[in-house]
Amino acid sequence: MNHPELERDKPLLERWDTIALPGDEHTENAFSKYLQAFGKQRQVLNCAIPLARAKTLTDFQLPEGLDLQACIEASVTGHFPDTLRGWKYQPIIKAETQLPQMAQIPAEHASLIKAPWLQSPSQATWLGINARHLRYHHQLWQDLKPKVLQGVNTTLVLALPQIGFALAPHIQLEKGFLFLGSLARGLCPVQLFPARYIYPEAQLGGLADVPAPIFADLLPLTGGFSYPTVDCEPDPWRVLARFGNGDRFYGYPFRQAKDSVEDFTLHGHENGTMLLPNGQRVTARQSQSYVYATLDPKLKDELMMDRDEFENATCLLRGAVTHDGLPFQLPVELRTMVFAIVLTHWRMELDKPGDLSSYTLSTEHAAIRGFNYFQHVEPHYTNFMRLIMELSKDPHFRTYPLSTHLTNSWVGGNLRLANHLSQSEADLGPEIMRSYYHQQLDWQAGIVVPLHEILGEKHRDNQGEVVCGYHDKQGMA
């Protein structure tokens, strides 16, 4: 930290050093061990954006009347400084232009109040983020009695720097995972679809073009996980998520791929397990999966590693977040957290309309390295986009991205106010919590991004050394 107050006040500097880096030797030892063992094999540039740009995210003007001493006291005592009551923060990280398949909600449906799919909300509170989680709507289901259901979901395989444990608790750098974790489909719908796309054969009448979410409780297990997960850490049910044991958390059958060049078809691979509202566990009686080739053999090798192997190869920790809809175009400051992107389209055909106890399932899967997607690296980008182009042949296919004040600055889309306040928003006020959220996102991105190992496009410099980096308006990082 470079702050003028620390330079002028030696006792304050000593106090800061005591609380800011209580375990800095552990971080130093971890990185030294990694560089000694794998430094000669490293083929990446250990930076993602220019340092000057990172500093614009971490250096901000303290609100008038607030000094560093007050910040330290607040972090220890938990007492909120009165000088922050009227604070408003302008976020630096901005949303990017999204795919053309993402659209504005039609004006006649803008409020979403009349949409029957959004009339049974329950708040997800365990992340402390406002969300509306759509539950099974019995009467609506009985009215529709659909014969066919379909949907699209995206899994972000995240790569996280393991440095959080060496920083003071009030900094909470490891919480950067939860920003992208807030998109998880088990917490709230972040993209809606025209109802006629989700229920292509249902008698929808005037509801045909109404934006609708996929029923959160009625999702066949087709890949990905409904809640944010981190490798070898417990999921919400206290079960350890082990990414190296299978493809469950990815949504792409990497272990079934014989090569990375040819598309292939699997029969009976996806069982489409689902838990019905009455507690009955059902599976698809028949399934077929069409899998698009990745053109990236190393991607499979890397994602099949167990936690220790992946850490040894990258010095990073894996996580995964699955959300409904297409991949978001993330700001450059957040892209380095995305190691890979998996897109899945699923389609259920019920043997009897409205009866979920017997059905068949068909799926399509595509995967790409995060760097190749965000930077449009060919031929990987065009190859991955084949699935999106195939979905776009349906004239009713489009998505309506939703955002709250907490995600709008970096996701964009159709901004909608949450109908509940979190406990902290109720105690302190929504504006201050949103300002704090945006400031923390900027600050954490400014710290995390330069520390990332970028596994992406490679080229040789003048000395023949292989390096890589992100390209943006400021040039290669």
Residues 6 or more apart in contact with residue 366 via CB below 8 angstroms: 252, 292, 294, 342, 343, 384, 386, 387
pLDDT at residue 123 tops 80:
no
What does the pLDDT average to over 339-363? 94
pLDDT band with cut points at 50, 70 and 90 for residue 451: low
pLDDT band with cut points at 50, 70 and 90 for residue 5: low
What does the pLDDT average to over 298-327? 90
pLDDT band with cut points at 50, 70 and 90 for residue 472: very low
Take residue 427 and report the two structure tokens written for it.
């105690």
Q: Helix/strand/coil (H, E, C) string of the chain?
A: CCCHHHHHCHHHHHHHHHHHCCCHHHHHHHHHHHHHHHHHHCCCCCCCCCHHHHHHHHCCCCCCCCCHHHHHHHHHHCCCCHHHCCCCCCCCCCCCCCCCCECCCCHHHCCCCCCHHHCCEEECCCCCCCCEEECCCHHHHHHHCCCEEEEEEEEEEEEEECCHHHCCCCCCHHHHHHHHHCCCCCCCCCEEEEHHHHCCCCCCHHHCCCEECCCCCCCCCCCCCCCCEECCCECCCCCECCHHHCCCCCCCCHHHCCCCCCCEEEECCCCCCEECCCCCEECCCEEEEEECCCCCHHHHHHHCCCHHHHHHHHCEEEEEEEEECCCCCCCHHHHCCEEEEEEEEEEEEEEECCEEEEEEEEEEEEEEEHHHHHCCCCCHHHHHHHHHHHHCCCCCCCEEEEECCCCHHHHCCEECCCCCCCHHHHHHCHHHHHHHHHHHHHHHHHHHHHHCCCCCCCEECCCCCEECCCEECCEEC
Could you tell me the residue ranges of all domains in the chain?
109-426
pLDDT digits 0-9 by tens, 186-237: 777 899 999 999 999 898 988 899 998 887 556 777 878 888 998 988 877 7
pLDDT digits 0-9 by tens, 370-397: 999 999 999 999 999 999 999 999 999 9
What does the pLDDT average to over 301-324? 88
pLDDT at residue 337 tops 80:
yes
pLDDT band with cut points at 50, 70 and 90 for residue 271: confident
Take residue 180 and report the two structure tokens written for it.
């992208």
Rounded CA-CA distance 455/259 in Å is 20
Per-residue model confidence (pLDDT) at position 120: 53
Per-residue model confidence (pLDDT) at position 162: 59
CA distances for 37 relative to 40, 166, 197, 309, 326, angstroms = 8, 21, 52, 13, 39
pLDDT at residue 469 tops 60:
no
* Bridge pairing between strands 400-403 and 414-415: parallel
Rounded CA-CA distance 359/184 in Å is 26
pLDDT at residue 465 tops 50:
no
pLDDT digits 0-9 by tens, 53-82: 777 888 777 777 787 778 777 777 777 788
Q: What is the mean pLDDT of the chain?
A: 79
pLDDT band with cut points at 50, 70 and 90 for residue 253: very high
pLDDT at residue 138 tops 50:
yes
Per-residue model confidence (pLDDT) at position 376: 94
Take residue 470 and report the two structure tokens written for it.
């992100």
Which range scores top for mean pLDDT: 57-66, 336-345, 410-419, 458-467?
336-345
Share of the chain above pLDDT 90, in %: 34
Rounded CA-CA distance 226/323 in Å is 8
